[in-house]
Homo-oligomer: A and B are copies of this chain.
Amino acid sequence: MPRRSPTRLDPELNIDRDSYEPAYVQLVNILRRQVASGIFRPGDRLPSESELRQRYDISPMTVRRAINILADQGVVVAEQGRGTFVKPIELGAATFDLQALQELLNGEATSVRMLEASIVSADERTARKLALIEGKRAIFIRRLLSRNGKPIIYHREYLLYDPRLPSIESELEVTSLRGLFDGIGATELKRGELTIEAATLDEEEAVYLEGTVGEAAVLLEHVFYGFDNRPVSWGWFISRSENLSFRAFVGVRE
């Protein structure tokens, strides 16, 4: 952040060159506010770049940068030769994130209880998921996450057991849930695939989660791969539906 001093002019009207906020951010906010308030409606053309440049007395690149940001936020769409237009909202543009889950994990009142950490022989499904030969050994971990003493999420995970690797290290990296969420550690992991689906609690899950068998539950499956593109871990979180859901927003907020 470059300069500092309070904003002096109505940000609806002008760009404050002395603000701690960069000019392009100010312009993004001005335009977004105008879209959100209905001054520019879906389908409307925004002022052209040269109009904006003159109106706010900034350079073309600064205007372009603001427009680009609005464009990849999905607020507007720029069409070469025609203009920049406000986009109607699209249901298909909605994106859900794991913020709810992350907040659960990082909350003060949240604790993780390790139920099991053992070496097991891979069954058919585990062998398939981890690209192992059935019967080979794998590390199996079960955890229970609680919030304010109430169990919230039951987690099971299979990890590659590779005696050649510093197994403790690689295990710890994947084992630390908080680390995985925040991005601490995990330097050996290249990518992950996640799936959300609906499920119902079986007996074991119902016991741990203090729910009832057959109750609706959210299931989040995860597979992580190393830089050799081989799966390193496979597991899933399960939570009673009432304890975990996912929200998303479409359209211009605020």
- Interface stretch (choices A110-118, A130-138, A142-150, A194-202): A194-202
* Cβ–Cβ < 8 Å partners of A172 in chain B: none
- Interface stretch (choices A25-33, A50-58, A83-91, A121-129): A83-91
A253 within 8 A of B: yes
CB pair B189 A246 closer than 8 Å: no
* Cβ–Cβ < 8 Å partners of A186 in chain B: 42, 88-90
Q: Once bound together, how far apart are the Cα atoms of A7 and B67, in whole Å?
A: 29
Q: Once bound together, how far apart are the Cα atoms of A9 and B102, in whole Å?
A: 44
CB pair B89 A99 closer than 8 Å: no
CB pair B181 A250 closer than 8 Å: no
CB pair B94 A194 closer than 8 Å: yes
Out of B61, B72, B185, B198, name the residue touching A241 (CB < 8 Å). Answer: B198
* Cβ–Cβ < 8 Å partners of A200 in chain B: 200, 214-216
Out of B36, B93, B216, B246, name the residue touching A195 (CB < 8 Å). Answer: B246
Query: Smallest CB-CB separation from A248: which chain B residue?
Result: B194
Given A98-B94, A181-B92, A214-B200, A195–B245 Cβ distance below 8 Å? yes
Given A89-B183, A218-B197, A241-B197, A190–B252 Cβ distance below 8 Å? yes
CB pair A91 B218 closer than 8 Å: no
A11 within 8 A of B: no
Interface positions, chain A 187-242, Cβ under 8 Å from B, are 187, 189-200, 214-219, 222, 224-225, 227, 241
> Using an 8 Å CB-CB cutoff, how does the interface string of A63-75 with B read, 1 for contact, 0 for none?
0000000001000
Q: Once bound together, how far apart are the Cα atoms of A184 and B96, in whole Å?
A: 22
A180 within 8 A of B: yes
CB pair A183 B88 closer than 8 Å: yes
Residue contacts A-B, CB under 8 angstroms, 8 given: A42-B189, A89-B192, A92-B181, A96-B196, A191-B249, A193-B247, A197-B218, A216-B217
Extra contacts besides A96-B194, A200-B216 (6): CB < 8 Å: A41-B187, A89-B183, A96-B196, A192-B250, A196-B196, A198-B216
Instruction: List the 3 closest A-B pairs by CB distance, nearest first.
Output: A191-B251, A90-B183, A198-B198
